[in-house]
Structure 1
Amino acid sequence: MPEDKPDRDESLHSAVARRITRLRRDRGLSLSALALQAGIGKGTLSELEAGTRNPTLGTLYALAGPLGVPLTGLVGDGTGRGVSDDVVEARLLSVRTHDDGGTTEVFWLTIASAGTRVSPAHGPGTVEHFRVVRGSARVGVLGAEQDATAGDALSWHGDTVHSYASTDGGAEGVLTIETPARRDGSGAGHAVIMR
């Protein structure tokens, strides 16, 4: 069984723990260095790597940036896999790794009726697209968010801090995250945003 395609019975905690540890070591980072770059506590990172802490969406996105991988690089590419926090649940619909090393991830995103999810910047050149299917949302680059209702689609640079919120009773839709290949050839670079 390949290293990054765990048994279906393996818990998300264990799979995420193994991936974070492997990526951190591959990049020559100590626990302290990665925790500092991700803006999380060293104890939190240690518990994630031990598989004893729940991997929340916010923490995983905070780690994905410094590790230079898309979200699926941490949670796996199994359709239906999901992560959540108090505001957002993201369930993977599909992921494609392109010949150049870039990725396109497609998630079913559910935004709770209350609260705002602030997401850290992802890798350089990352672009996000959100099409609202039900409800209404306020999404985009922090401080420049835009409103959207069912049928609307918005795009923004995901390599800057951005947020997700519902403007009235919750929202659901399709979130597509395009992460270009890294400039060093190992996977996050440049993309052009189209509106």
Structure 2
Amino acid sequence: MPEDKPTRDVSPRAAVARRITELRRAQGFTLSGLASRAGIGKGTLSELEAGTRNPTLETLYALAGPLGVPLTGLVGDGTGHSVPDGVVDARLLTVRTHDDGGTTEVFWLTIAARGTRVSPPHRHGTVEHLRVVRGTACVGPSGAEVLVRAGESSSWPADTGHTYAARDGSAQGVLTIETPPGGP
């Protein structure tokens, strides 16, 4: 008679839950401690770790900072993986970890015609680059955003709060996030 073994949940949500829990424990954070540092509720973090709550892009970025990992450290580095939040949809094209421990993540970014997304600060020294291929985006450090039209690019420090919005309809482009080696 075959032994009954529970099947491991391999859904993206369950994988994110496992990564958050493993990173939190490895770094010695309590649920309350990480939730506080990330600026999210302890209940939200508990539900994320239990796999009962879908993570938003904003929450993942808020957790990635204190955990000292790039976004792909939480969602995985599978090409084509998409993390939407209603305003921004970031679909992973590629990720590279460099010999020094830094990472380069490349996303196909779609910014919806409605709303504005404010991203929390990433690890110190992180820089984002956006090349707009369709539409017009308003991006950059909060309070110092710039308009970037199709065919144009912009770069900004991502270790402070920064904003994504589209003007005159949706916008699409290639977003590159360069995260330096080291801790948060």
For Structure 1 versus Structure 2, the TM-score category normalised by the shorter chain is over 0.9
Counterpart-to-counterpart distance in 2, 1:46 and 1:174: 33
- Residue 191 of structure 1 is matched in structure 2 by none
* Mapped partners of 1:170, 1:10: distance in 2: 33
Q: Distance in 1 between matches of 2:11 and 2:149?
A: 35
Quote the offset at 1:79 in angstroms: 0.1
Structure 1 position 140, deviation (Å):
0.2
SS, match of residue 106 in structure 1: strand
Q: Which digits, 9 at most, give the CA deviation of each residue in 1:132-190, with x for residues without a partner?
A: 010110000000000011000000000010000001101000000000001xxxx66xx
Structure 1 stretches of 4+ with a deviation exceeding 2 A read: none
TM-score scaled by length of structure 1: 0.89
User: Are 2:137 and 1:144 aligned?
Assistant: no
Residues 111-132 of structure 1, C-alpha deviation per residue, up to 9 Å, x if partnerless?
Answer: 0001000000000100000000
SS class of match (2:124): coil
Structure 1 residue 48: Cα displacement: 0.3
Q: Distance in 1 between matches of 2:164 and 2:60?
A: 16
- Indicate the SS of the match to 1:32: helix
CA distance in 2, matches of 1:168, 1:12: 33
Q: Give the match for residue 64 of structure 1.
A: 64
Count of matched residue positions in the alignment of Structure 1 and Structure 2? 176
Structure 2: distance between partners of 1:179 and 1:85: 22
Q: 1: CA distance between counterparts of 2:65 and 2:112?
A: 24
Residue 155 of structure 1: aligned partner: 155
- Residue 126 (str. 1) matches residue 133 (str. 2): no
Write out aligned runs for 1:39-188 (5 A).
39-182=39-182
Larger radius of gyration: 2
How much does 1:41 deviate? 0.4
Question: Which amino acid is the alignment partner of residue 51 of structure 1?
Answer: G
Identity among equivalent positions (%) equals 73
Unaligned runs of 5+ in 2: 1-8
CA drift of 1:98 comes to 0.1
Shift of 1:12: 1.1
In 2: Cα distance, 1:123 partner to 1:114 partner: 28
Gap runs ≥5 in structure 1: 1-8, 189-195
TM-score by length of 2: 0.94
Alpha-carbon RMSD: 1.0
- Per-residue deviation, residues 18-39 of structure 1 (Å, max 9, x unmatched): 0000000000000000000000
Cα separation, 2, equivalents of 1:81 and 1:10: 14
- Mapped to 2, the partners of 1:179 and 1:45 lie a distance apart of 24
